[in-house]
Chain A
Amino acid sequence: MAFRGRGRGRGRGRGRGGSFEFRMAKHEPFILFPEDVKLPNVSAFENIPPEDKTLAIGKIKFERFWKSSPYYLEDSRGQNAEVEYYAEKLKRKGQEPQYFGTYMKLNVSHFPAELIQGQRRGQVASKKLRWDTKRDDLSLFEQLEEKDKDGDGKEDKEKEKEKKGEDDEEAEEDLEKEEAESSEDDYIQNEYFDDDEDDFNIDEQPDEDYY
């Protein structure tokens, strides 16, 4: 009984003080595009100063670089992974796929040992490094359209690219094989991934604290 009284008193006491009051929320339907919002005139924003233009162009340039760089990691697991993989392969024809580790110094002084254990290391000839990664933004169909339009001109350019790529073809095949292998490993690891019986990583600690 006294308990009830005390509870009520506390409820009253809570009446003061900022936004911690309990109020009954009014149920209103959610309007996606409300009619009473006054939008400002677009022309007021169209005079973009040239400095802002250069900044915006610079930002887009960075984003394009990263999207086409080897740092952009694709998800190999998705449902449409195979379709995407081959679509990407076709897009990239003529350009060698790059492993991001070629631009990084994968040694113990810069990265934790556990991360670089499985990574490919070794000297990479500087001519293999591509610094201005430019993947065509055009879709596959447009590429084919352009091929038909330009005809000979484009074919010659592609032949040149292929000649350059010949030196690195073996490396390319190796890289692709390794990539395929590593993705297989991922699948296998996923299947047999069991916290208690970890046969693959024997050097790990058997008693991990799980929170």
Chain B
Amino acid sequence: MVGQHGINYAVCLISTHFGDVVAKVCECLIRHGSLSFLEVVRFTELPQGQVKNSLLVLIQHNCVQAFSVPKTVGMGGITKPVTLYMILFDNIIHRMRFSKFCLIVKEHLGHQSAEFLEGFLQHGRLTFELLFDRAAGLTEGKATRNDVLAKFNELVHAQYVERCPKGEPFLEPKSDEEVSSIRKRIKSSGDTRTIEQEAIIAAAPLDADRFSGIISLTLNTEEVMKDVNNTLETSAGSKRKHEVLEADEDIQNAINTTEVLWRVNYEKFVRCLKKKACVANVRSRLGLDAAIVLEAMIDANDHQNIAMNSVTLSMNSIIEGVRGKPGGISLTLERVRAILKQLGSELCPEESGALYTIGLKGIIENCQNDEVESLVLHKYGKEAYRIFRMLILADRLIAMDQISDNTFLEKKEAQKILCKLWKDDYVEMEKVNLNAGVRAEVFLWKVNKKFLWEHVLNDIFHTALNISKKISQVTEECQVLKSDEEKDKRLKRARRILESALLKMDDAIMLFHDF
């Protein structure tokens, strides 16, 4: 769940990209949850045509997923399917990062693949035909079909592009028996799924299809379809069977190129950015070599789990991966072993050899701690930073006296700082009355990480929102004041700084929200 400012930030993004009408529909869906079409019309008070168009645009750009559920209507108990629309909040926030995605693909697969990815990002979803049209249009007819197919398959096999989910999956209602057995399971595992999560699972394409590229192209899809119709009409007997089978393959190819929609696989890019963040953090803490080892491990790992919380590899694969990296050839086995120990890897002995596991969660937590500590340092000063760091490392309630002893601060000063932090919700306080003859009140302080992380994330969203609004204000001013050169220069400078600040804010959002 995201706080208020997160919602406002998402709505501001949609408004900049698609206009106020679409933003209104989007806000309605975020605030009210999954709604049916008529409910959206009622809440937004917009004409039906506009709501329809807005929903189409949002679905096209993967910000909304539709699904249908049965609903009992009327007295007779007839169930009719009703279509609900749910917002995909993370995909909206991803829109700020599209240029980062392009950079990742450019570094990995080259400039042309990045151009194709741009097409997918600009239009949300494309068929292969539309992709080829676009390539031909932008290069003025120089792109060939086979070239485009090769690059496209490259993108799909690297999992940057995936097949689109179903437009409107139907969620079967669970029967009573199933529900009671599920409830028993839930009590033991504590893993309830909301209807929205069920919808996403139901809509997702089969694993086999998701990253299956296009094998071959039919040169002329129209002719193929005509031929197919002819053969089907006149087919009889076993001789025709062979032609019909061939026609089937052609139909399949034709469908693959003109009807199947493809879109960007956000999960893959989040993993890439997570890898970048982890490697950067390790590089700053433990040096270049450790960064090389970690990067090699993450690359070699198969990413079977979506969350990518840890990487597990045997020593041989690690060495192989390290040797492949620039600067990794000079690392000896002993050095790699020492680095793995430094990274806190766990050793799981296996039959074929020892497996080393590194938990990425720990590294991410490290990054998050660094971020919040630097925030406290800049906002409240060095002493507050000392106290805060002590509380975060201890991770439990600590008494006032202990704090002032450990941080070499006077009690009054420490109390003042802690009160300030408490008012801004950075620390939590508990009062304990010691009734041991002398009535003494002891204050205990603690950092509640879960709550604090949410609070910090909300603040980051707020900052990003403010920067976005400032950028649009500066852009408007720029357009109006084109004559005054000095002011124009100053505004352009301001815009450059604001944009780079917004990119860094976006990194921070990823750290607390997506990783």
Whether A115 lies near B16 (C-beta < 8 A) is: no
Chain B interfacial positions (CB closer than 8 Å to A): 16-22, 37-39, 42, 47-50, 52-57, 59-61, 66, 68, 73-74, 80, 83, 96, 98-100, 102-103, 119, 121-123, 125, 127, 130, 133-134, 137-138, 164, 166-168, 259, 261, 422, 425, 428-433, 479, 482, 493, 496-497, 499-501, 503
Whether B18 lies near A66 (C-beta < 8 A) is: yes
With A19-B428, A131-B134 known as contacts, the answer to whether A56 contacts B496 (CB < 8 A) is: yes
With A56-B500, A131-B138 known as contacts, the answer to whether A112 contacts B167 (CB < 8 A) is: yes
Whether B49 lies near A182 (C-beta < 8 A) is: yes
Chain B residue with minimal CB distance to A126?
B133
Q: What are the interface flags for A116-130 relative to B under an 8 Å C-beta threshold, 1 for contact and 0 otherwise?
A: 101100000010011
* Interface residues contributed by chain A, number (CB under 8 Å): 72
With A18-B428, A66-B17, A189-B49 known as contacts, the answer to whether A104 contacts B499 (CB < 8 A) is: no
Instruction: List A contacts of B499 (CB < 8 A).
Output: 56, 59-60
Across the interface, B138 reaches (CB within 8 A) one of A18, A63, A109, A132, namely A132
Whether A112 lies near B103 (C-beta < 8 A) is: no
Instruction: List A contacts of B56 (CB < 8 A).
Output: 100-101, 104, 106, 111, 115-116, 119
Chain A interfacial positions (CB closer than 8 Å to B): 15-19, 42, 45-46, 48, 51-63, 65-67, 69, 71-77, 100-101, 103-116, 118-119, 126, 129-132, 137, 139, 142, 182-183, 185-187, 189-190, 204-205, 207-208, 210-211
Query: In the assembly, what is the distance between CA of A66 and CA of B48, in Å?
Result: 23
Instruction: List B contacts of A205 (CB < 8 A).
Output: 73-74, 80
Query: In the assembly, what is the distance between CA of A129 and CA of B432, in Å?
Result: 71
Whether A62 lies near B49 (C-beta < 8 A) is: no
Query: In the assembly, what is the distance between CA of A152 and CA of B311, in Å?
Result: 65
Whether B138 lies near A75 (C-beta < 8 A) is: no
A–B pairs, 29, beta carbons within 8 Å:
A16-B432, A17-B430, A53-B496, A58-B103, A59-B98, A61-B99, A66-B17, A66-B122, A69-B122, A71-B60, A75-B21, A76-B50, A100-B56, A105-B125, A105-B127, A105-B261, A112-B66, A112-B68, A114-B37, A115-B55, A115-B66, A116-B56, A119-B56, A129-B134, A132-B138, A186-B47, A186-B50, A190-B47, A205-B73
Whether B496 lies near A104 (C-beta < 8 A) is: no
3 smallest beta-carbon distances between A and B, as pairs: A58-B99, A186-B47, A56-B499
A34 nearest CB across to chain B (Å): 14
B315 nearest CB across to chain A (Å): 34
Query: In the assembly, what is the distance between CA of A15 and CA of B200, in Å?
Result: 45
Instruction: List B contacts of A113 (CB < 8 A).
Output: 168
Chain A residue with minimal CB distance to B82?
A205
Across the interface, A55 reaches (CB within 8 A) one of B47, B54, B103, B130, namely B103
Query: In the assembly, what is the distance between CA of A187 and CA of B47, in Å?
Result: 8
Whether A46 lies near B57 (C-beta < 8 A) is: no
A-B residue pair count with CB separations less than 8 angstroms? 175
Instruction: List A contacts of B168 (CB < 8 A).
Output: 108, 111-113
B398 nearest CB across to chain A (Å): 15
Query: In the assembly, what is the distance between CA of A72 and CA of B55, in Å?
Result: 12
Across the interface, A62 reaches (CB within 8 A) one of B48, B99, B103, namely B99
Whether A16 lies near B133 (C-beta < 8 A) is: no
Whether A71 lies near B103 (C-beta < 8 A) is: no
B370 nearest CB across to chain A (Å): 19
With A16-B430, A58-B98, A104-B125 known as contacts, the answer to whether A73 contacts B47 (CB < 8 A) is: no
Query: In the assembly, what is the distance between CA of A185 and CA of B53, in Å?
Result: 14
Whether B167 lies near A108 (C-beta < 8 A) is: yes
Whether B497 lies near A48 (C-beta < 8 A) is: yes
A168 nearest CB across to chain B (Å): 15
Query: In the assembly, what is the distance between CA of A45 and CA of B498, in Å?
Result: 10
Across the interface, A74 reaches (CB within 8 A) one of B21, B68, B99, B119, namely B21
Query: In the assembly, what is the distance between CA of A34 and CA of B35, in Å?
Result: 44
Query: In the assembly, what is the distance between CA of A103 and CA of B129, in Å?
Result: 11
Whether A189 lies near B48 (C-beta < 8 A) is: yes
Instruction: List B contacts of A185 (CB < 8 A).
Output: 49
Chain B residue with minimal CB distance to A130?
B137
Query: In the assembly, what is the distance between CA of A67 and CA of B472, in Å?
Result: 13
Chain A residue with minimal CB distance to B121?
A62
Chain A residue with minimal CB distance to B39?
A211
Query: In the assembly, what is the distance between CA of A186 and CA of B53, in Å?
Result: 12
Instruction: List A contacts of B42 (CB < 8 A).
Output: 210
Whether B123 lies near A103 (C-beta < 8 A) is: yes
B507 nearest CB across to chain A (Å): 11
Instruction: List A contacts of B433 (CB < 8 A).
Output: 16
Extra pairs beyond A16-B432, A109-B167 (10, CB < 8 Å): A17-B430, A51-B103, A55-B99, A71-B18, A73-B19, A100-B56, A103-B123, A115-B59, A129-B137, A189-B47
With A48-B496, A205-B73 known as contacts, the answer to whether A59 contacts B18 (CB < 8 A) is: no
Whether A59 lies near B83 (C-beta < 8 A) is: no
Across the interface, A207 reaches (CB within 8 A) one of B74, B127, B493, namely B74
Instruction: List B contacts of A189 (CB < 8 A).
Output: 47-49
Whether A19 lies near B425 (C-beta < 8 A) is: yes
Whether B261 lies near A110 (C-beta < 8 A) is: yes
Across the interface, B133 reaches (CB within 8 A) one of A118, A129, A207, namely A129
Instruction: List B contacts of A18 (CB < 8 A).
Output: 428-430
B11 nearest CB across to chain A (Å): 15
Query: In the assembly, what is the distance between CA of A211 and CA of B36, in Å?
Result: 12
Instruction: List B contacts of A17 (CB < 8 A).
Output: 430-431
Across the interface, A109 reaches (CB within 8 A) one of B38, B73, B166, B482, namely B166
B81 nearest CB across to chain A (Å): 10
Instruction: List B contacts of A119 (CB < 8 A).
Output: 52, 56
With A114-B83, A132-B138, A190-B47 known as contacts, the answer to whether A63 contacts B16 (CB < 8 A) is: yes
With A73-B22, A131-B134 known as contacts, the answer to whether A111 contacts B49 (CB < 8 A) is: no
